[in-house]
Amino acid sequence: MANTAPTALITGASRGIGRGIAVELARRGWAIAINYARDQEAARECRRLCEQAAPDQSQASFEIIQADVSRPDDRARLLDSVLARFGWVDLLVNNAGVAPAVRTDLLEASEESFDRVMATNLKGPYFLT
């Protein structure tokens, strides 16, 4: 059966705020693309919680898609996968984010750390939108 529910793509949906948004949208009948970068088990748990929250579990539609939004090829694959599975995206929740691997004074931050944070937190949402 074709998807008729509104569809959300949630980056970083495997935990925290992203997971909370996914579960709430599932409760409201949305189809959800659950994106994660590294923790597949956490993404599976998010899908399980979404399935439990869905008002009509026989019509619920949740897809787990691994992609690192800091990488251009992963972003393209993520969007292609969502469109192939659901046909469209009604809502994009740019939730994925990282902090510096080593917290230090701004004047001591490495260029590598800066690039990692900017690629995920700025370039990812900018180019995915």
What pLDDT band is residue 10 in, cutting at 50, 70 and 90? very high
At 40-72, the pLDDT tens digits run 999 999 999 999 999 998 888 999 999 999 999
Pair of tokens at residue 15: 């935990």
What residue type is assigned to position 91 of the chain?
A: L
Domain assignments of the chain as residue spans, ordered by start = 7-97
For the entire predicted model, the pTM comes to 0.94
Determine how many CB atoms are found less than 10 A away from the CB of residue 119: 17
CB 77 within 8 A of CB 67: yes
The CATH topology of domain 7-97 is: Rossmann fold (3.40.50)
